Chains A and B, each alone.
Chain A
Amino acid sequence: MSQDQTEVAGEESGVSDAFDDRIREGVVVITEDGSAALRATVDAAASAKATTPGMLSFVRLAFDLEIPDAERGRVSGLFSSTGAAVTPDQRQLTATLAVLTLIERFSRPLGRRTMQGLLPDAAAASAVIVLADQGRAPVHPDVLGFATRWRAMAAEHLRRGGGWGGPPELAKPAETPEGAPAPEPGPADIEALRAYAGELNQWLRQTSSSARLLALEEQQGLLWWLASSERSPSATAAVLGACEELLGLSAYSLGPPAAGELLSRRLTGYATEEVSIADLSQLAARTVPEEIADLCPLLSGGRPSHVMTAGVLDAARWLYDELQLTRLAGPAEGQ
C-alpha cells in the first residue's frame, strides 16, 4: 500500500467504536490521533460549566437549526479552545460535536445534583425530545435515545426515596440444636447488630426524607388523577387538560417518571381519535419565553406546516413536552 493511502487506511481507530461511528457524520476519514483529539474536545466541552441558554444552543445545533452568528462563534470558539480547530462555517462538524457533547453529558452519572443543578441538562433533554416530537431529525439519531433515558433517570433521581421497600432484614442467628442453650453473643454478633442498627437508621432517614414524602404525595395524587374520570368536550380539550393537570400534579419541574405512559392511560378513551394540530395550537397558545419560542411551535402559535393532524396520544406527548420545556427554560427556572 502506498504511503498516501496508508495514511487513509492504515492508522484508523477501531471501526465499531460508537464515538467514531457518530463522529463520522462530520468527517470522512478519521485517524486514531484525530479521534482522540475530538474525544478530548467533546469531553472538555461537556465538562464546561453549563447554562440553560448554552445547552439550548447545543440542541439547536444538533438539529441543524439556525442560531445567532455570535452564538455560533461562541460554540466554535469553545470547541476550538479545547482541541479541535472548528470554524463557524463548519456547520456539519459543529453540529456533530454538539450532538456528541449532549450525548456525553447525558451519559454522565447524576451524582448528588439537585433540580437546580440538573436544570441545564433537563432543558436540553426536554428540547431534544420536543424537536423529535415535531418530526425533526438530529444530526445523529443517538442523541434522542440518550435524552429520553436521561430524562427518565433524572425524574427518578429527584424522587429518590420513592423506591425504598421495607426495612433491611436482620441476619438470622445460627440455629442451635433443640433443647440446647443459646450461645452467648460474641464480639462478631455485637458488631453485626451494630451494623444492622446503622442500616436501619439509614433506612429510616431515607424513607422519611422530604424527597420521599414528596414523591409519595405526588404518586398518590397521580393515582387519584388516573382513577378519576372527566369527559372533556373534545379530544383537543382532553389533550390540553390532561397535559396541564399532569404537570400541575408534578412535584418537580422535571415531570414524573413515565409521564408518557400516564398520559396514555389518562387519555385511553380518546386513543383512536386524531386532533388537528392547528386547533390544539390555538387552544394551548400562551406566552412563551422568547428564548424558546422557536422550539415550542404549539404553544407559541408557530406550528410546523408539515404536520396537520396527529393521534391523541402523540399530540399529548408533544404538548406535554413543550409545556415541560417552557417550565424548565422559563425565566423562573432557566436563569
Chain B
Amino acid sequence: MTESSEPAPPEDAPSARIDDVLDTPETGAEAAGETGAEEPLGSRATALDAPEANALAARRRPTVLVLAGAVGCGKTSVYAAIYERLGRGPFGGWMFAGSRTIAGFEQRCHWWRTSSGGSEPYMEHTRANDLPWLHIRLRDSESREPARDLLLGDFDGEFFDQLADNRMQPSELPFLRRADHVGLVIDGEHIAKVTARAAERQQTEYLLERLLIPDALAGTDALSLIVTKSDCLARSRDAEGAESCLAELNQRASKLAGRPVPLLRLAVRSQDPQFPLGHGLETLLEMLGLRPALQIAADPEPYEPATALGRFRA
C-alpha cells in the first residue's frame, strides 16, 4: 500500500527519469516537451492509481484537490486548463515544476486543441475505470519556497451523482475526507439556461447536503463552490436570474457549512475573447496556495488533575 518501489526501467530506457527532473526549476514548456517524451505511455503515465498516489504522498505531502460534480459539468476541463495554462508560462505567481502524469494531461487536453480537428472544444468524459489522480508540481515564480505538489482527483461524475441521490455514502468515497480542498462544481451553462437552471440547482443542493454531513469532509473549510463555464452567464438571456440563483446557492452553502463558503467563477476554455484561457484559475491556485493542507485534529481525552498543584490556575 505504501510501497515506493517502482518498476526498474528497461535497459534501453533514457538514463534521466521523470523523478530526476521534477525539482528542476525549468519552464513549463521545457518540462512538458522533454520529460513528457521520456515517460512511457501506459497507466502510470496517464494518471496515478491509489498505491502510486500513496507512494508520492509518502515522500512529500501533496495538496489534494477534488472537484465534485455531475457528469459533464467541467471538472476534467479545470484540471486540464491548469496544466495547459501553466505550460504557457508562469501565472498567478506559480510556475510548472514537473508532473508525473503529463501523458494524462496531454490526453485530456488533446480534444481541446484546434490541431485535433474538432470544430469546437470537446472534453472526453472521465470513466469510472480511469485512474483518478493527476499530479502537478508547482514552484513559486521567484523560487523562494520549496516546490509544492498538487494531486488532483479526476473522478467519474457518476460517483457524485450517486452520492447526491443517496445511492452512495460519503464513507464510500474516502478521498473526500482526505482532500484539502473540495470544490463543488456548478455547471454555469446550466445555470445560465432558464430551462436547465432548476434541475442544476436542485442537484447542487442535494450534493451540497451530502458533502456536509458529519465526517464526509476533513472540515467545512475544505469546501468551496466552483462555477464552471461562467462565460455562459454573461451571455444568458436571464443573467439576473442566474446571478440570483448562484447567490442563493452560495448563501445556502454558507448556512449549512456555518461559515462563508467561497464561490469561484471559472471559464477555462471559453471561445469568448473576453475570457482568456484559464480565466479564474488564478483565484483557484491562490486558494490552494494559501492553505495547502487541511489537517483533522482530535484532542486527547480530557485529563482531570488529581493534586492541588495540578489544579492550580494562575
Rounded to whole angstroms, the CA-CA distance of A27 and B56 in the bound complex is: 8
A90-B310 CB under 8 A given contacts A5-B128, A28-B178, A141-B297: no
Annotate B151-184 by CB proximity to A: 1 below 8 A, 0 otherwise: 1000110010000000000111111011000000
Cβ of A48 under 8 Å from chain B: no
How far apart sit A162 and B312, CA to CA, in the bound complex (Å)? 14
**Contacts known (A2-B128, A156-B307); A27 close to B314, Cβ less than 8 A:** no
Chain B residues 256-314 with CB under 8 Å of chain A are: 295-300, 303, 305-314
**Which among A18, A34, A261 is the interface contact of B1 at CB below 8 angstroms?**
A34
Contact (Cβ within 8 A) B295 A141 = yes
A5-B155, A24-B178, A85-B3 in contact; A92/B58 too (CB < 8 A)?
Answer: yes
Contacts of A30 in B (CB 8 A): 1, 54, 174
Show the binding face of A for B, using Cβ within 8 Å: 1-5, 7-10, 12, 14-16, 18, 21-22, 24-31, 33-34, 37-38, 84-87, 89-93, 106-107, 139-142, 145-146, 149, 152-153, 155-156, 159-160, 162-163, 215, 219, 222, 256-258, 261-262, 264-265, 268
Selected from B2, B131, B172, B173, the residue in CB contact (under 8 A) with A86 is: B2
Contact for A27 among B49, B58, B306, CB less than 8 A: B58
- 27 A-B residue pairs with Cβ-Cβ distance under 8 Å, sorted by A, are A2-B128, A4-B49, A4-B128, A8-B50, A15-B170, A16-B215, A21-B296, A28-B54, A28-B62, A28-B175, A29-B53, A30-B174, A85-B4, A89-B4, A89-B59, A142-B300, A145-B299, A153-B303, A156-B306, A162-B309, A163-B307, A257-B309, A257-B310, A257-B312, A258-B310, A261-B313, A265-B314
Among B129, B171, B311, the residue within 8 A (CB) of A5 is: B129
Q: Does B306 contact A163, Cβ atoms closer than 8 Å?
A: yes
- Contact of B144 with A by CB under 8 A: no
Number of interface residues of B (CB under 8 A): 57
Contact of B298 with A142 in the complex, beta carbons under 8 Å: yes
Whether the Cβ atoms of A15 and B310 lie closer than 8 Å is no
Contact in complex: B303, A152 (CB < 8 Å): yes
Q: Which residues of A contact B313 (CB under 8 A)?
A: 258, 261
Binary A-proximity of B191-230 (CB < 8 A = 1, otherwise 0)? 0000000000000000000000011101000000000000
Interface residue SS majority, chain B: loop
Using CB atoms, name the residue of chain A closest to B50. Answer: A29
CA A11 – CA B171 in complex, angstroms? 10
Q: What A residues does B54 contact at CB under 8 A?
A: 27-30
Query: Is A9 touching B175 in the complex (CB atoms < 8 A)?
Result: yes
Distance between Cα atoms of A29 and B153 in the complex (Å):
11
Q: Which of A8, A33, A261 contacts B312 (CB 8 A)?
A: A261
The answer on a CB contact under 8 Å between B309 and A90 is no
Q: Decide yes or no: A28 and B50 within 8 Å by CB, A4-B131, A85-B3, A156-B305 being known contacts.
A: yes
Given known pairs A15-B177, A93-B58, A156-B306, the reply for A84 and B2 (CB within 8 Å) is yes
**Bound Cα distance A21, B222 (Å):** 15
Q: Is the CB of A91 within 8 A of B59?
A: yes
Give the chain B neighbours of A152 by CB distance below 8 A: 303, 305, 310
- Name 10 extra pairs, CB < 8 A, besides A5-B129, A22-B296, A29-B53: A7-B49, A27-B1, A28-B178, A30-B54, A89-B4, A139-B61, A159-B307, A215-B309, A258-B312, A258-B313
User: Which of the residues A5, A34, A261 comes within 8 Å of B2, measured between beta carbons?
Assistant: A34
How far in angstroms is the closest Cβ of chain A from B165?
Answer: 14
User: Is the pair A27, B57 in contact by a Cβ cutoff of 8 Å?
Assistant: yes
In angstroms, Cα B49 to Cα A3, docked, is 12
Q: A21-B296, A29-B53, A146-B300 are contacts. A15–B306 as well, Cβ < 8 Å?
A: no
Cβ of B312 to closest chain A Cβ, rounded Å: 4
Q: Are B171 and A15 in contact (CB under 8 A)?
A: yes
Find out whether the CB atom of A33 lies under 8 angstroms from the CB atom of B129: no
Q: Name the B residues within 8 Å of A26 (CB-CB).
A: 2, 57-58, 61
